[in-house]
Each structure stands twice: as structure tokens, then as C-alpha cells.
Amino acid sequence: MKLSKMHLRTLREVPTEAEVPSHILLLRAGMIRKLASGIYGFMPMGWRSVKKIEEIIRQEMDRAGAQEILMSAVQPAELWEESGRWSAYGPELWRIKDRNGRDFCLGPTHEEIFTDIIRNDVSSYRQLPQNLYQIQHKYRDEARPRFGLMRSREFIMKDAYSFDKDQEGLDKSYEDMYNAYDRIFTRCGLTFRPVEADTGAIGGAGSHEFTALSEIGESEIAYCENCDMAATVERAACVDAAPDADDVEMLPMEEVHTPGTKTIEEVAGFLNIDKSKTIKALLFERYDDDGNVCGYVAAFVRGDRELNMIKLVNALDIPEHAIAFADEEKMGAATGSVGGFTGPTKLHDCTMVVDSELVWLKNMCAGACKEDHHLINVNYGRDYSADIITDLKVLQEGDPCPCCGAPVKHTRGIEVGQVFKLGTKYSEPMGATYMDENMDEHPIVMGCYGIGVTRTLAAVVEQHHDDDGIIWPIAVAPYHAIVTLVKPEDEVQSRVAEEIYNALMNAGVEVLLDDREERPGVKFKDADLLGIPIRITVGKMAPEGKVEYKLRRDAEKQELTIEEAIANAIATVRRESV
Ligand code: ATP
Ligand code: MG
């Protein structure tokens, strides 16, 4: 492709709405175009890279035995009602009506649709296992679309669904997908880590997220250097503090005057005790399907711990959008809570969720449910009880590893894919069953496997860029090479550039020829911004049959003969476009 003919508009300025490198650079390089908040289109260069990623995914999915299909992005509400997700999915589900008032949604994911296909087409064990996938636009009306392609409201996803006879079959399908994901992200040039994950709105038991390591990533990962524990912080189990010994006496509970001490820091400071001797209360209201408050929840963790919201909603078995921090006044009237001074002993008419370690810690300090007062020597069992006792803690950096006890580390990553063992979560309510050899009927055992194609593109840019622009790995670069013609009006330079351009094209190298009437500085800047892996500059040395050869990722330039430059470029592309 000749740049003089290409639809390309690069920007010198950093677009004001963009904060992270991938968003800034994809916009500046003219690869993506914003249409509305969280809605992007792809311009020629960007679209080529998207297609490269899609092709890698296709090859690896096909190799793993999956078959590509394409369903509609528009999904009838009835199927979502069958699975129970029409109400459970919440405001992220992009709902639409047709002219007759019939409800539909724009698919955020396709479990219902694929389960429907299989329940119609599969009846016998002989037809299993199967794995179907598609690559398609998905829609999620995200509360906070941000970082460009990273969290958008329309994005491209590869979603695959496996159907097996039993758990053993699912384990095998899951492993095959896990291994395919390993190859896909490796081929895309990402540094990534598979970690144990929570299952969120998709559901099921057992899941891994594939996270591309990055400072700007929204997934916080806890991992251990001593063993192979790695999990999202949401998911990671915590080790309870050692229980107080049996012979520690429960002292009489006492009310103390603690004026103005609303936070754990303040009360611990005022009473001169460690924060670990206090109980922190977090108060929530729950919503029904119509968004009305339908109950209150009080969660309690040790004062020096953080509450893990995902563990809380899992314990309550409700979706995340069905709970939020309570309106203090209204909750106070209904349950007896007092903002800043709430403790577990006097609350009523609310669900009490207590972190497991509190049960074994004695003589704690907690709010007295009375303005400016706390209680000391509060003990579980004697002074309060719980509706649910569970691990509610965030696994903090330095906490003991739940597997081996060594201090845990944290890092951040971008979730580029996730695999789930769904089991019969969809096949059971939707009646997707098969007959075994003895004509006994069983629900089909399912798995599902997603990759954010466009988020992967952004993750590649996050990991491969410098101040001047993108540095594409060859496998996902929009073009492999760029021939920069310094003076298009110079006949020799022009002829040499065309010669190299044609030779590379004939050898299957995807090549750009920058033949624009622009200053050389502009051309070099654009080539760097676009991140084309190989640059061959044809300038003053052209009459001697010499050109400048440079890899985008390296600082050095080489002076090579025309033939050497062509041969080098071809060899590099063959070696690296795996
Ligand atoms: P997140 O936790 O980031 O909201 P998710 O866990 O809800 O994502 P999945 O349902 O697992 O996402 O979707 C599969 C993949 O689709 C994700 O691993 C991610 O790469 C991609 N993805 C999900 N939401 C978005 C989005 N809003 N924009 C771009 N890609 C997304
Ligand atoms: Mg996910």
C-alpha cells in the first residue's frame, strides 16, 4: 500500500480524553475513531491489526477442535428469562424493543443462544463433545467506559462454548481451551499470567482469567513467589488470624465514651489499642429487580482488614448491582445503626455477615450503635451472632499465602480472556439434555471461554510502545515493513524505493511505501507512531545502491545494500510472524 493513497490521519497532539498509552497512541496513529462514549470504529491500520489477532485466535481455536459459527448480536428476551438472567444481569444489559414492543438485548455474551442451539440439535451422547465459537461485536452498557478499547460499550469478543457428557469431559475441554489461550496470547506477543478468578455474572464453578501484566490494568492479582498460587484479589482466599487461646478470658462488655471517633483510626487512637482489636462495620442496602430497597446488610471485618465486595455478594448470592452502600439515615431508622458508631451487638432487621476470623477473636472493640460511644470486650457468641460467617477479607500484599503461608505479592494486569467451567448452570434451567447409552437423560455439562479481541489489541500496545509511538510485534502489526522514500521527486530514490517495495510484496511481506510529499521528519515520526516493525529508508545513498535499515524496537540503524535490506526484512518477517 502506498501511503499517498491511504486513508490515514495521524495526530500530533494527545487527545484530551485519553489517559493511558494504548488509548492515546491508537487515537494518535489514526487506528481507531471514537463515535460516542465507549463506542469506537476501526480505521484501515487498526482494522488490519484486529484481523491479525482474530486470525491467530481462529487458528488456535480450530486447532483445538472448536468450530466457528456466527449468531446474531440481537437476542430475544425470552431466552434470557429462561436462564434467569434477564433480571439478574442488571443495567449493563443493553435492552431494546422492536416496533411491536417485544424485548430484545444486544448480546453481552451468548450462553443462552448457544445452549438453545445445542438443546435443539443434540440429543444423544454420540453427538458430544462439541465446541462452538464465534467472533463478534458484544454490547455492555458499562457504567464507566474508559481507556478506549480497554473498557468500551461495544467491543469484539471471541466467545466459545463447550458441551460435554460429564465433568471429566468438561475438564478436558477446559484444559484444551486453557492451552489454546496460552498459545494465542503468546503469539500476540503478550506477557501474561493465567490466574484463578471469580465467576461473576457468567456463573459456574471454576475459572481462570488470562491477565496481560500492566500497571494500568484493572485486575489486581495476588501471587506467591514460593508456590504457584495466583488469583485475582477478588477471588483469593485469606488465611484467618490465629484464634485467641481458649484460656483468654472473655471480659465483661463495657460501654465507653468515644466522642467524635467515627473511623477505625480515630477510635483505635483514642482508646490506644491496635486496629486489629477493633471490628469494622460496613453497611449496605439491597435492591429488588425494580431497583427498590428491599433489605439491609451489615458486614463486619477486623478493623485493619478491607472488605472484599465480591466475597460479600457471593456469600449473599446476589449480583453486584443489587447492593450498594446504605443511606445512613434510612438504615438507622430500620436497623438501629448509627453512622460511624455501628457495631454488631444491637442491630436488628438486617442480614449480619461476619468475617470468619472475628468468631475466634476475643475482647474486641466495636461501635455501640449510639452516637459517640463504643463497646469494649465484645465477643462473638456471647454478645452477637451472625446470619452468615465467611471469609470477607481482601488478601493484602504481605498477608500469608493461602496455599503455603509465604508473604503474598500483588501486581496489576489487564484481563484479556477468561475461561469458565459452567457445569449445568445453563443446561439445567434451559433443558439442554442428552440420552446416554442406556437411554437415561442427563443435562449437558458446559464450559465457556471468552477473549476480548479489541482489549487484547489495546493490551499489546500497553506492553509495546515508547514515547514516540507503538512498537508492534510482527505477528499483529498492521504492516510488517515501511519503505520511507525521503525525496519522492528524486528519480533514483524513487526507482529504488519502488524496487524494494515490489520485491517485498512479491515475497509476501506486508509493506507500506511512504511516497507522500512530506518532509522526511514527518515521515519518520509517522513511521514511529504507527509502529511498523521494519523501516527501510531510501535517501541520499540510493545511487550507490545503499539504504538504511532499522527495526522499530532497536535504536541502531544499519547501512545495507538494497539486496541485503530486502533479504533481512524477509527473514525477520518469516522468523517472527509465527
Ligand atoms: P471485566 O471484569 O473487565 O468487566 P468481564 O469479566 O465482565 O470483564 P467476560 O464476561 O469474562 O468479561 O468477557 C470476556 C472478555 O471480554 C474479557 O476477558 C475481556 O477481555 C473482554 N471484555 C469484557 N468487557 C469488556 C469491555 N467493556 N470492553 C472491552 N473488552 C471487554
Ligand atoms: Mg471476565
Full 3-state SS string of 278-341: EEEEEEEEEECCCCCEEEEEEEEEECCCCECHHHHHHHHCCCHHHEEECCHHHHHHHHCCCCCC
Cell numbers 484460656: residue: 247
Q: 519-557 as b/e, with b when 16 or more CB fall inside 10 Å? A: eeeebbbbbbbbbbbbbbbbbebbeeebbbbbbbeeeee
293 C-alpha to ligand 2 centroid (Å)? 28
Q: Does residue 151 line the site of ligand 1, with CB under 6 A?
A: yes
456 C-alpha to ligand 1 centroid (Å)? 10
Note the ligand closest to the C-alpha atom of 217.
1
Q: Does residue 208 line the site of ligand 1, with CB under 6 A?
A: no
3-state SS, residue 381: coil
Q: Does residue 418 line the site of ligand 1, with CB under 6 A?
A: yes
- How far apart CA 371 and CA 369 sit, in angstroms, is 7
According to the model, what pLDDT value does residue 487 have? 97
- How far apart CA 224 and CA 400 sit, in angstroms, is 9
Please name the residue whose Cα sits nearest to atom 8 of ligand 1: 415
Q: 377 in the Ramachandran plot: left (φ > 0), alpha (ψ -120 to 50) or beta?
A: left
What are the start-end ranges of the H helices in 147-210?
A: 167-187
Q: Does residue 232 line the site of ligand 1, with CB under 6 A?
A: no
Q: Does residue 207 line the site of ligand 1, with CB under 6 A?
A: no
Q: Does residue 157 line the site of ligand 1, with CB under 6 A?
A: yes
572 C-alpha to ligand 2 centroid (Å)? 35
Cell numbers given for 73: 448480536
The answer to whether the beta carbons of residues 450 and 157 sit under 8 Å apart is: yes
447 C-alpha to ligand 2 centroid (Å)? 14
Ligand 1 pocket mutation pick from 94, 149, 157 by most atoms within 8 angstroms of CB? 157
- How far apart CA 301 and CA 262 sit, in angstroms, is 16
Cell numbers given for 78: 425470552
Note the ligand closest to the C-alpha atom of 413.
1
What average pLDDT values come out for the chain (578 residues) when binned by 10 residues? 95 90 97 97 98 98 98 97 90 96 98 97 98 98 96 98 97 97 98 89 79 95 92 91 90 96 96 97 94 96 96 94 95 96 96 97 97 97 97 94 94 97 95 97 98 98 97 98 97 98 98 97 97 98 98 97 98 92
Please name the residue whose Cα sits nearest to atom 4 of ligand 1: 151
According to the model, what pLDDT value does residue 202 have? 62
Ligand 1 pocket mutation pick from 209, 418, 457 by most atoms within 8 angstroms of CB? 418
Please give the DSSP secondary-structure letter assigned to residue 384: B
- How far apart CA 194 and CA 185 sit, in angstroms, is 11
Q: Does residue 199 line the site of ligand 1, with CB under 6 A?
A: no
CB hemisphere CA count around 454 (13 angstroms): 27
416 C-alpha to ligand 1 centroid (Å)? 7
Q: For residue 147, which of 31, 10, 37 has the smallest C-alpha distance? A: 37
417 C-alpha to ligand 2 centroid (Å)? 7
Please give the DSSP secondary-structure letter assigned to residue 400: B
Q: For residue 576, which of 51, 188, 180 has the smallest C-alpha distance? A: 188
Please name the residue whose Cα sits nearest to atom 16 of ligand 1: 452
Q: Does residue 110 line the site of ligand 1, with CB under 6 A?
A: no
- How far apart CA 453 and CA 478 sit, in angstroms, is 15
- How far apart CA 308 and CA 292 sit, in angstroms, is 24
Ligand 1 pocket mutation pick from 85, 235, 415 by most atoms within 8 angstroms of CB? 415
The answer to whether the beta carbons of residues 323 and 286 sit under 8 Å apart is: yes
- How far apart CA 45 and CA 204 sit, in angstroms, is 38
Q: pTM value?
A: 0.90
Q: Does residue 193 line the site of ligand 1, with CB under 6 A?
A: no
Cell numbers given for 97: 424493543
315-320 long-range contacts (CB < 8 A, ≥24 apart) are: 315/353, 315/388, 315/390, 315/392, 316/286, 316/351, 316/353, 316/388, 318/286, 319/88, 319/89, 319/90, 319/201, 320/90, 320/200, 320/201
CB hemisphere CA count around 34 (13 angstroms): 18
- Give me the helix-helix angle, 562-576 and 491-506, nearest 10°: 30
Note the ligand closest to the C-alpha atom of 109.
1
- Side chain identity, residue 135: I
Which DSSP string do the residues of 22-34 spell out, in sequence order?
A: HHHHHHHTT-EEE
534 C-alpha to ligand 2 centroid (Å)? 35
